[in-house]
DNA sequence: ATACGATCTCTAGTGACTAGAGGTTCAAGA
DNA sequence: TCTTGAACCTCTAGTCACTAGAGATCGTAT
């Protein structure tokens, strides 16, 4: 049995975030000491590691709740889990695509100005003012 | 002179968002009709277009405020503007890098499970439980 | 017994909006 | 001129996933 601070150290999840996960229903309320402090066991650690890993991969709290629910029903189909993972993958790919377009545009804009003139002549500011200066959609 | 709805249509920025920008200090408070409704002119349209374009490129409200301030002082150096653009570019690149790592991991995880078994055997769930199954950092 | 870091709950703040309630104004048609 | 109804107004609260701070209590080492 260990404290919330110890759990925090072992998982690299901040203490208030752990409490937040409990409040959100991702973590079961753990046992308490006589003095009302949380005490966790191996199961709590495992669960939080799962959550942390999923969050690191960008899954939403809601998606994680579904995944945890599925874990609790080992006899149910895992279709839902693979669907969630696939949706997450598509989301990540969409974000990458968009960011790449932004990157190109920002490179172009940044290159246009050495930063040594006055702002009146700044290509960065001009580019932002006038979308027509852009080469592609974003 | 046109209404907030007209401005919204011309810029593709939603009406509440325009009011939000005004409240945040990005947009000057426009003239009002006798009945207290906002009326914009060409300058307001131009300003909002600038903001919209910058937001589309991912600049924060705060960064945009600085850029607008620079626009208002055409004699000042544009170093700050190029710095902001460069920082934004680095930020975008960092996000892309991270997302690419996530993408790889998600592909691997998704591939591992056809989604036709029971959740007890699901590789998606197993992968999330056990970080050691991951091939690289993320 | 005391000190002090860790913990507790609760409220409020973040960024960039979005949604809704409840009321007023504008502009077009009868 | 009157009426209708869409558009507008302000204000509050909600979103997501935390983060920060206040003020009080607990646990443990000395």
A104-132 tens-digit pLDDT = 999 999 888 888 888 888 999 998 887 77
Q: For the residues B68-87, what does the mean pLDDT come to?
A: 91
Q: Considering only alpha carbons, which residue of chain B is nearest residue A104?
A: B89
Grade residue B119 by pLDDT with cuts at 50, 70 and 90: confident
Is the C-beta of residue A115 closer than 7 Å to nucleic acid chain D? no
Residues within 8 A of A (CB atoms), B 42-101 only? 46, 49-50, 53-54, 56-58, 67, 70-71, 73-79, 81-86, 88-89, 92-93, 95-96, 99-100
| Residue range A29-55, pLDDT digits in tens | 999 999 999 999 999 999 999 999 999
pLDDT of residue B35: 96
Q: For the residues B108-129, what does the mean pLDDT come to?
A: 88
> Which nucleotide is closest to the Cα of B36 by its C1'?
D9
Greater pLDDT, A119 or B47: B47
Distance CA B84, CA A15 (A): 34
**Over chain B, what is the mean pLDDT?**
92
Which tokens sit at B106?
């998600």
Distance CA B129, CA B13 (A): 42
Grade residue B136 by pLDDT with cuts at 50, 70 and 90: low
pLDDT of residue B138: 72
- CB nearest A128 (choices: B54, B102, B120): B54
Q: For the residues A51-61, what does the mean pLDDT come to?
A: 94
Contact B113 A81 (CB under 8 A): yes
Exposure of B124 by Cβ count < 10 A (0-12 exposed, 13-18 middle, 19+ buried)? buried
Q: For the residues B60-85, what does the mean pLDDT come to?
A: 91
Contact A118 B92 (CB under 8 A): no
Which tokens sit at A118?
């006055």
pLDDT at B116 over 90: no
Chain B nearest-CA distance from A38, in A, is: 23
pLDDT of residue B60: 94
Greater pLDDT, B34 or A135: B34
Grade residue A136 by pLDDT with cuts at 50, 70 and 90: low
pLDDT of residue B106: 92
Grade residue B38 by pLDDT with cuts at 50, 70 and 90: very high
CB-based contacts of B18-21 (< 8 A; 24+ apart in sequence): B18/B48, B21/B48, B21/B51, B21/B61
Rg, Å, chain A Cα set = 23
Structure-token match 């932002």, residue found? A128
CA atoms within 13 A on the CB side of A80: 18
Residues within 8 A of A (CB atoms), B 96-115 only? 96, 99-100, 102-103, 105-107, 109-110, 113-115
| Residue range A66-103, pLDDT digits in tens | 999 999 998 998 898 999 999 999 999 999 999 999 99
């Amino acid at each position: 049995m260990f404290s919330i601070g110890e759990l925090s150290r072992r998982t690299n999840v901040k203490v208030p975030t752990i409490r937040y996960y409990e409040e959100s229903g991702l973590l079961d309320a753990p046992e308490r000491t006589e003095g009302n402090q949380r005490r966790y066991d191996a199961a709590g650690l495992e669960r939080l590691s799962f959550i942390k890993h999923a969050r690191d991969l960008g899954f939403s709290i809601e998606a994680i709740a579904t995944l945890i629910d599925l874990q609790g029903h080992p006899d149910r189909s895992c279709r839902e889990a693979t669907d969630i993972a696939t949706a997450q993958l598509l989301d990540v790919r969409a974000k990458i695509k968009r960011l790449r377009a932004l990157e190109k545009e920002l490179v172009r804009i940044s290159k246009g100005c050495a930063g040594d003139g006055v702002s009146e002549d700044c290509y960065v500011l001009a580019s932002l003012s006038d979308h027509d200066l852009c080469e592609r959609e974003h």
